[in-house]
């Protein structure tokens, strides 16, 4: 390419550069005009649209506020609300939120009729934790170290199931006769040597588990219990093997 051709090409490029520069300046000018218009429109927005941003002067203390609807009855606070709003007193028109005492711990005051104190290394039956719960229907205390059953067990008049397998109980108190609702008595693996005759009063007793004990005699009065059909002895004592019920 000759020198003249180069000069002509250079002149053409300079013209194109000027043209693009002019277009850029026009675009910048148009952008500034648009931004200016948008800013003016924002300044002219009505005041009520920004009502939340307008500060409200504080209410003078000690001055009663007139009610807009004097004939309307006062609102009754809900008894199920977590907080209550008392009426405003003179000199302090700001309502105060007073917390209501929460309900007592537990499942809404519901009494659970089942109690499990198994495998707790218990050596005795606690009167407050266990025997005071007279609403119990099922009581589980297996695999502990309990040696005796207090007479207060008779207070559990609604008890249906008593599981005291694998403890160290030696005797069954006469208070068991008060457990009229008892249907299952599980005493496997203790050191019981005898049974009270009054157990025959437990007419609903359908399951009696006495396996792995030291029972030497079995009162004939207990043979009328429904539990005799599922009576568990292991090994069966000689006196029970030799017993022949009479149907006459």
Task: Give 148-172 pLDDT, tens digit per residue.
Answer: 999 999 999 999 999 999 999 999 9
Side-chain half-sphere CA neighbours of 85 within 13 A:
9
Mean pLDDT of 38-61: 58
Mean pLDDT of 14-40: 84
pLDDT of residue 17: 85
Residue 13: band (very low, low, confident or very high) from pLDDT cuts 50, 70, 90: confident
What are the backbone dihedrals phi and psi of residue 50, each rounded to the nearest 5 degrees, phi first?
-115, 40
Mean pLDDT of 173-177: 89
pLDDT of residue 164: 96
Architecture of domain 114-239: Alpha-Beta Horseshoe (3.80)
Statement: residue 247 has pLDDT above 60: no
Which residues, 6 or more positions from 191, have their beta carbon under 8 angstroms from its beta carbon? 168, 169, 170, 213, 214
Residue 93: band (very low, low, confident or very high) from pLDDT cuts 50, 70, 90: low
Residue 81: band (very low, low, confident or very high) from pLDDT cuts 50, 70, 90: very low
pTM: 0.53
Domain ranges of the chain: 114-239
pLDDT of residue 189: 94
Kindly provide the residue ranges of all beta strands, DSSP E only, lying in 77-145, ordered along the sequence: 83-84, 98-99, 114-116, 138-140
Mean pLDDT of 66-95: 51
CA–CA separation, 33 vs 54, rounded Å? Answer: 30
């Amino acid at each position: 390419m000759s020198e003249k051709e180069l000069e002509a090409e250079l002149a053409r490029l300079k013209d194109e550069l000027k043209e693009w520069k002019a277009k850029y300046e026009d675009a910048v000018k148009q952008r500034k005009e648009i931004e200016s218009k948008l800013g003016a429109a924002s300044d002219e927005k009505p005041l009520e649209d920004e009502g939340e941003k307008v500060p409200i002067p504080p209410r003078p203390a000690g001055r009663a506020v007139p009610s807009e609807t004097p004939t309307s009855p006062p609102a009754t606070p809900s008894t199920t609300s977590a907080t209550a709003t008392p009426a405003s007193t003179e000199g302090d028109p700001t309502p105060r939120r007073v917390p209501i005492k929460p309900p007592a711990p537990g499942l809404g005051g519901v009494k659970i009729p089942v109690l499990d104190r198994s495998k707790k290394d218990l050596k005795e039956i606690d009167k407050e934790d266990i025997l005071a719960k007279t609403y119990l229907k099922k009581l589980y205390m297996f695999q502990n170290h309990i040696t005796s059953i207090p007479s207060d067990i008779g207070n559990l008049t609604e008890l249906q199931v008593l599981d005291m397998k694998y403890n160290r109980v030696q005797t069954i108190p006469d208070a068991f006769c008060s457990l009229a609702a008892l249907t299952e008595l599980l005493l496997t693996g203790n050191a019981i040597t005898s049974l009270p005759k009054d157990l025959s009063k437990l007419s609903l007793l359908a399951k009696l588990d006495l396996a792995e004990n030291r029972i030497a005699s079995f009162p004939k009065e207990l043979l009328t219990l429904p539990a005799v059909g599922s009576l568990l002895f292991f090994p069966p004592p000689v006196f029970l093997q030799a017993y022949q019920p009479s149907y006459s």
